[in-house]
Amino acid sequence: MRTGPQSRPHPLRTPPRARIVDVIRRPDRAGERPQGDTVALRNEPTAPYHSAQDALRVLEGVARHTAGVTEAGLARATGLGPERLTPLLLMLRREGYVEQTADGAYVTGDALARLGSARGREEALREKLQRTLDRLRDAVGAAVYISRYVDGEVRVTQYAAGPATPAVHEWVDFRCSAHATAVGKSLLTQLDHDGRRDHLSRHRMARLTSRTITSDKLLLSRLEAQPPTVPVLDLQEYAVGTVCAAVPITAGSSVGCLALSLPVAHAHRLRRAADALNRNAAPVLLSLAIQGP
């Protein structure tokens, strides 16, 4: 499988506490667009987005207390109730972003410290995201992918597969087949109408299988009707023998998605796996938020 760059360099070289404060503010600047980005977005935050935002608030609260802070203290600082805060803390501990001391207080974890260090930061970010993807692959029982819409093109930037969870065979370049893939359609749903039309005008909608949509009018209608919180499916539209699902992982002005693929023999698991993917997307979005643009 062809992939794009694993990660992109980030100029910020600040300690973890300052980095967390910076990260938590960035996604709120939805009106800003990176230089060179020529498409508008449908800014409709999803459940993983809100979970990641809450997790960033918790991380900021922990980072502000270098000697440690209790769960009760975090509840006061963040305004999150125990039904929300407790699972977030469990997730942050699992990801290595926070640690719990012997007296029950929470402090920043080794993973966050490594990501806040200038030395080897880019490699640490890539490895941290890969470990998160590996856990997600095992949790959903399918190959998983992170994709982004960069400079007007679909790019798979990182993925996790294995012998029991094979990656989809990229028999047609993903950049040219957004109309047929769950990844491509999920990314296109996050653009405005003009952005979608621009993409389709640059890439012919070739028939890849008997199920491929080749009518731009029909595809645009379906993209417009796609609810942002419902996974986008590919039922052998890109390749015979493979089914896929994708969910958006958008924060601020970025366009991205998290996807999975299954052999068609496991198609009966697709919707259940897609729901699991959506439920477990927050750690991936959190890693991407900390990574930065």
Write the pLDDT tens digit of every residue in 132-159: 999 999 999 999 999 999 999 999 999 9
Q: What's the CA gap between 106 and 69, in Å, rounded?
A: 5
Q: What's this model's pTM, rounded to 2 decimal places?
A: 0.76
Amino acid at 122: E
Amino acid at 11: P
**pLDDT tier, 8 (very low <50, low <70, confident <90, very high otherwise):** very low
**Mean pLDDT of all residues in 17-42:** 38
**pLDDT > 80? residue 253:** no
pLDDT of residue 27: 37
Amino acid at 242: T
Residue 154 has a CB neighbour count (10 Å cut-off) of: 26
Domain boundaries, the chain: 141-277
**pLDDT tier, 124 (very low <50, low <70, confident <90, very high otherwise):** confident
Spatial CA neighbour of 283 closest among 55, 109, 22, 72: 55
**Mean pLDDT of all residues in 207-226:** 97
> Looking at domain 141-277, which of 3.40.50.720, 3.30.450.40, 3.30.70.1520, 3.40.50.970 is its CATH number?
3.30.450.40
Whole-number average pLDDT of the chain: 83
Q: What is the pLDDT of residues 259-280, one digit of tens each?
A: 999 999 999 999 999 999 988 8
**Strands 232-235 and 153-160, bridge-based pairing:** unpaired
**pLDDT tier, 237 (very low <50, low <70, confident <90, very high otherwise):** very high
**Strands 98-100 and 256-263, bridge-based pairing:** unpaired
Q: What's the CA gap between 58 and 56, in Å, rounded?
A: 5
Angle at 253 between CA 38 and CA 54, to 5 degrees: 175
Query: Which residues are CB-neighbours of 123 under 8 A, at least 6 positions away?
Result: none
Residues of the chain with pLDDT > 90, as a percent, come to: 63
**pLDDT tier, 24 (very low <50, low <70, confident <90, very high otherwise):** very low
Q: Where do we find the tokens 């992170």? A: 146
pLDDT of residue 128: 87
pLDDT of residue 52: 84
**pLDDT tier, 22 (very low <50, low <70, confident <90, very high otherwise):** very low
Using left for φ > 0, alpha for ψ between -120 and 50, and beta otherwise, residue 263 falls in beta
pLDDT of residue 252: 59
**Mean pLDDT of all residues in 224-250:** 93
Least confident segment among 204-213, 255-264, 277-286: 277-286
**Mean pLDDT of all residues in 80-102:** 94
Amino acid at 228: P
Q: What is the pLDDT of residues 66-79, one digit of tens each?
A: 899 999 999 999 99
**pLDDT > 70? residue 177:** yes
Long-range contacts (CB closer than 8 Å, 24 or more residues apart) made by 65-68: 65/107, 66/17, 66/107, 67/105, 67/107, 68/101, 68/103, 68/105, 68/106, 68/107
**pLDDT > 60? residue 13:** no
Spatial CA neighbour of 280 closest among 99, 80, 135: 135
pLDDT of residue 285: 83
Query: Which residues are CB-neighbours of 21 under 8 A, at least 6 positions away?
Result: 60, 63
pLDDT of residue 208: 98
pLDDT of residue 115: 72
Contact between 202 and 18 under an 8 Å Cβ cutoff? The reply is: no
